[in-house]
C-alpha cells in the first residue's frame, strides 16, 4: 500500500504532492513501482496536527482518486470523515482507511454499511492533539488487542460485515516507541483475529530513532522496509509504505526465505 499524502503538513512529505497533477503523477509512480493499492489522504494525522475541514480534504483527494482510478490504479482513501469516504468511493476508491476506527465521525459506521466496501479499522484513543497524553498502558499488547477486538465487535453488531473489516494496530497513535515495538513483536495477537492486518510503520518517529534523527526522511525508508518484511513474515496482509520499490525488494527476500523454509 503506497502512501500518497495530498497535504500541506504531513510529517514526512507535506506539501510535495499538494497539487492534483503532482499527486496523480506520484500515485502512478507508486503503482509502477509495485504498489497494489495507493492510499490517498488529505489530512495529516501526525502528533499535534490540526483538523482539516471535510470540504478542504475533499478538494484535495477527490480529483486525485478519480484520476488514478480512471487510469486503472486501485485506490484507498485515508479519511476519518464519512462524507469524504462516501464521495471517495463514488470517485473510485475501493477501500476506506480510517485511522480512528470509525470513531471520529458518528456517521462513518452507517456510511460504511451503505457503501459495502472494506474498512481498515485502526486502534485509536483520540485525535492528534491529545493522543500522546493517552499513551498509557499496563500491558500495551493485551490492551491494544482487547480495545481493537472490542471495536471490531461493535462494528459487526451495528451491521458492518466481518468480511469487510481489516485491522491496523495504529502504530504511533497513542503509543510511544517502546509500545510500538512491543505491538509489532506480538503481531500474532492481531493476526489471530482472523481478519486481514494492515501495518503502517513507514517513516514514523520510532523508526527515525533507529537512524540519525537529523537525517532526511528518506533515511527512515530502509528500516521501514525491514519492518514491512518482518510484518509480512508474521502474517500482515498489507504494509503501508512510502518507498514502494525498496519495500518490494525486502518483501521479495522475506518470501524467498519462506519458500526456503517450506
Q: Pick the more confident residue, 171 or 17.
A: 171
pLDDT digits (tens, 9 = 90+) for 91-118: 999 999 999 999 999 999 999 999 999 9
Q: Would strands 2-5 and 38-41 be described as parallel, antiparallel, or unpaired?
A: parallel
From the candidates 86, 164, 204, 220, give the one annotated as an active-site residue.
Answer: 204
- In this structure, what C-alpha cell is assigned to residue 30? 507508486
Range of weakest confidence among 50-54, 57-61, 159-163, 240-244: 50-54
Give residue 14's pLDDT band: very low, low, confident or very high (50, 70, 90).
low
9 pLDDT above the threshold of 70? no
SS3 content of the chain, % helix, strand, coil (to 5): 50, 10, 40
Range of weakest confidence among 11-25, 106-120, 131-145: 11-25
Per-residue burial over 197-208, b = 16 or more CB atoms within 10 Å of its CB, e = otherwise: bbbbbbbbbbbb
From the candidates 16, 240, 248, 258, give the one annotated as an active-site residue.
Answer: 240
Name beta bridge partners: 199. Answer: 239
49 pLDDT above the threshold of 80? no
Average pLDDT of span 28-36: 98
136 pLDDT above the threshold of 70? yes
Spatial separation of the C-alpha atoms in residues 126 and 74, rounded to whole Å: 29
Mean pLDDT (the chain) is: 93
Maximum Cα–Cα distance across the chain: 51
What pLDDT does 128 receive?
74
> Phi first, then psi: what are they for 109, rounded to 5°?
-60, -50
- Annotated catalytic, 189? no
What pLDDT does 133 receive?
79
Q: Pick the more confident residue, 218 or 89.
A: 89
Do 248 and 229 meet the contact criterion of CB atoms below 8 Å apart?
no
Spatial separation of the C-alpha atoms in residues 208 and 2, rounded to whole Å: 19
Helix axes 20-33 and 244-261, enclosed angle (nearest 10): 20
Tally the C-alpha atoms within 13 A of residue 188's C-alpha that lie toward its C-beta: 4
- Annotated catalytic, 240? yes
Q: Pick the more confident residue, 15 or 235.
A: 235
Provide the whole-model pTM: 0.92
Give residue 10's pLDDT band: very low, low, confident or very high (50, 70, 90).
low
Closest CA to 82 of 106, 46, 116: 106
What pLDDT does 218 receive?
86
Average pLDDT of span 40-64: 88
Average pLDDT of span 242-249: 97
Amino acid at each position: 500500500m503506497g502512501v500518497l499524502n495530498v497535504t500541506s503538513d504531513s510529517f514526512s512529505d507535506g506539501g510535495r504532492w499538494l497539487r492534483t497533477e503532482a499527486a496523480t503523477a506520484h500515485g502512478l509512480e507508486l503503482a509502477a513501482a509495485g504498489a497494489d493499492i495507493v492510499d490517498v489522504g488529505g489530512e495529516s494525522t501526525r502528533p499535534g496536527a490540526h483538523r482539516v475541514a471535510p470540504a478542504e480534504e475533499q478538494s484535495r483527494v477527490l480529483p486525485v482518486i478519480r484520476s488514478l482510478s480512471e487510469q486503472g490504479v486501485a485506490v484507498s482513501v485515508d479519511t476519518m470523515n464519512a462524507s469524504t469516504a462516501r464521495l471517495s468511493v463514488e470517485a473510485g476508491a475501493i477501500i476506506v482507511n480510517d485511522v480512528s476506527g470509525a470513531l471520529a465521525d458518528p456517521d462513518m459506521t452507517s456510511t460504511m454499511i451503505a457503501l459495502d466496501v472494506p474498512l481498515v479499522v485502526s486502534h485509536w484513543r483520540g485525535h492528534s492533539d491529545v493522543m500522546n497524553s493517552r499513551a498509557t498502558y499496563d500491558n500495551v499488547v493485551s490492551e491494544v488487542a482487547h480495545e481493537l477486538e472490542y471495536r471490531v465487535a461493535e462494528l459487526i453488531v451495528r451491521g458492518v460485515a466481518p468480511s469487510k473489516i481489516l485491522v491496523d494496530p495504529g502504530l504511533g497513535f497513542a503509543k510511544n516507541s517502546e509500545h510500538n515495538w512491543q505491538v509489532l513483536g506480538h503481531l500474532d495477537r492481531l493476526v489471530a483475529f482472523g481478519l486481514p492486518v494492515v501495518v503502517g510503520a513507514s517513516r514514523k518517529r520510532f523508526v527515525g530513532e533507529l537512524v540519525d534523527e537529523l537525517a532526511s526522511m528518506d533515511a527512515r525508508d530502509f528500516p521501514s522496509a525491514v519492518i514491512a518484511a518482518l510484518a509480512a513474515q508474521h502474517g500482515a496482509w498489507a504494509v503501508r509504505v512510502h518507498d514502494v520499490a525498496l519495500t518490494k525488494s525486502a518483501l521479495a527476500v522475506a518470501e524467498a526465505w519462506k519458500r526456503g523454509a517450506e
